[in-house]
Chain A
């Protein structure tokens, strides 16, 4: 590979792109429109019932939850504001467990809750909410407080006459930041851009250049297929950096997204376009006509566009769809960016990156091998 060849071809690519306003719009500004659209929709619509993860430490000698704690949890469910999910986690680790799993609300019912309640001794449940997600936190706190008041009034007072507040609520923040929809949307849409920019244009270019005889023309020059493909990869990497910068600016500036801008994003912004430019060229190579190339491109692109965690978290999908998502390469690009931009989970990000890189090298080599500039 000659750098001068790649540089000359890159210059052609950049000029072609910059002189094509439609392509620029779809690469750079369309994702911003999506951020604005989805950001507005999901900040305006309530999320309904919030799952409240409960650690119930009030277990009787027979190994069952105490009656009062069960009644307390049932009352919480009846509010329809929260849905109780009892988990088996140590109360000391509960706060960080919530944070790691990105859960926004948790409650600890302490050991001796029933005994204290009947003995009219003051006892507190511990409520964990996320200060970043004030509206959800407020709703959950209101529901919990309502049930606590109900307990105090209807059980602790009866049949006594000297009513006093027995059950109280101690508020805590969850161990680490809990994320909002917009926080996921930023890495998701960077992934969207990494997928769609190269896939839609490279598939089309590969088939139409062949039909128009441009590849035939290039085959008569010293430019090699690897050099041609490399210059495209470089261009889409550059485009991805610009696009990611604009999306980060919009997401953080307009919607207050909480994402970490870190150098650890860089490998994903390089390896992602590398994979999808190669995949686009492969798809364009195996197609006989521009029409069939577009069809193949769409078949590859559309499932990934929606099922890889671009607009919605994969963890919210039904289990069958989650399994399907795990075979999509874009899932690993987006998951990796979520790990570095939201969760600081470098280990998992490295695995994601390695997977995409290996797949990218395989697809690149396959594309260069299968793509013919001249006929037999």
Chain B
């Protein structure tokens, strides 16, 4: 077990209900790992077990080599956590909150420096109950960094933030990685995961249904790259008969799946020579979000097998 986080056969039951049904994954030190899943998939339960806030029913969990439940106190000195919908003492200011955490953790921190890092310096002396949702999340992020953590657990850190603030948080997350910290990121924004994460795992109904780098997941579970041509139905028939490619119409466009780059040249050449009317073309590739939506949807239909059961 050399990873920053190692999970083997993790099970969490609430009575008869299995919130997490035996999952395995590991996170390399210094990686940004994104844990994705729809609501109720077992995502928060898993994160809370990793943070030592909940006890696993079965399986083995090691975070920085420690058992999170039994060695929680030691672990909490070495990790930073920003929970979903972060709340704090209402009458306390961000500056005071960081000073408070600094004293508890016994670390020397410059509150203004941390607040500048998360773009909250202008609200340093405003009381928590006067902050907006996004500003509260930023304070949560600042507090999670007070103890110079080796792993940062960030649970939907950009929810409710405007695009500018979201980019600022992304920059903080990249900076954390540059400093050698491991980031465990859960998010609803799949573009965020695709943009930031080195590794991704998708959990659904308590099982991991996909894992790897975003590119690997897209390659394994997404559709092939496609040529999208502004043309009519008759082009589909022509391309299928002439080139034997997979083609179909979608939203008044013709989409042709490409096996390699030569396919693109052959298809365009055939279109040009056909004499049929056509407009412009673009190339299309599935995003992580497309893959996620398709996989979760297919799994709900019973069509997709999970990684564990495959």
Contact = CB atoms under 8 A, between A and B. Distances in A.
B76 A16 contact: no
Contacts of A12: 89, 92, 96, 100
Interface string B133-149: 00000000000000000
Contact of A5 (B54, B87, B91, B103): B103
Interface in B21-59: 51-55
A11 interface: yes
A219 B90 contact: no
Given A15-B96, A220-B76, A376-B54, A4 B103 contact: yes
Contacts of B54: 374-376
Interface in B67-109: 72-73, 76-77, 79, 81, 83, 85-92, 96, 99-101, 103-106
Q: Interface extent on B, as a size class? A: 20 to 34
A9 B106 CA distance: 13
Nearest to B53: A374
Given A213-B83, A220-B81, A374-B54, A19 B100 contact: no
A374 B50 CA distance: 13
A95 to B, nearest CB: 57
A217 B72 CA distance: 13
A15 B96 CA distance: 10
A214 B101 CA distance: 13
Q: Which of A12, A16, A375 gathers the greatest number of chain B CB atoms within 10 Å?
A: A12
Contact of A16 (B79, B81, B92): B92
A128 B72 CA distance: 71
Interface string A212-251: 1110110111110000000000000000000000000000
Interface string A3-18: 0110111011001100
Contacts of A16: 89-92
Contacts, number: 67
Q: Is the interface of B mostly helix, strand, loop or mixed?
A: loop
Q: Is the interface of A mostly helix, strand, loop or mixed?
A: helix
Given A8-B103, A16-B92, A214-B88, A222 B73 contact: yes
A19 B52 contact: no
A20 interface: yes
B303 to A, nearest CB: 35
Interface of A: 4-5, 7-9, 11-12, 15-16, 19-20, 212-214, 216-217, 219-223, 374-376
A240 to B, nearest CB: 21
A15 B91 contact: yes
A20 B91 contact: yes
Q: Which of A9, A12, A217, A374 gathers the greatest number of chain B CB atoms within 10 Å?
A: A217
Contact of B51 (A8, A212, A220): A220
A212 B87 contact: yes
Nearest to A223: B104
B58 to A, nearest CB: 14
A9 B51 CA distance: 23
A211 to B, nearest CB: 9
Contact of B127 (A5, A19, A374): A19
Q: Which of B51, B100, B104, B106 gathers the greatest number of chain A CB atoms within 10 Å?
A: B104
Contacts of B106: 4, 222
B83 A216 contact: yes
A28 to B, nearest CB: 17
A214 B92 CA distance: 13
Nearest to B146: A221
A221 B87 contact: no
B137 to A, nearest CB: 13
Contacts of B79: 220
Nearest to B147: A221
A193 B89 CA distance: 24
Given A12-B92, A217-B87, A376 B55 contact: yes
Given A15-B96, A216-B83, A221 B76 contact: yes
Nearest to A23: B91
Given A8-B100, A8-B104, A217 B55 contact: no
A376 B57 CA distance: 9
Nearest to A5: B104
Contacts of A375: 53-54
A223 B53 CA distance: 15
Contact of A222 (B51, B76, B87, B91): B76
Contact of B87 (A9, A15, A213): A213
30 contacts: A4-B103, A8-B99, A8-B100, A8-B103, A8-B104, A12-B96, A12-B100, A15-B96, A16-B89, A16-B90, A16-B91, A16-B92, A19-B127, A213-B85, A214-B88, A216-B53, A216-B83, A217-B83, A217-B88, A219-B76, A220-B53, A220-B81, A221-B104, A222-B73, A222-B104, A222-B105, A222-B106, A374-B53, A374-B54, A375-B53
A4 B102 CA distance: 11
Interface in B223-262: none
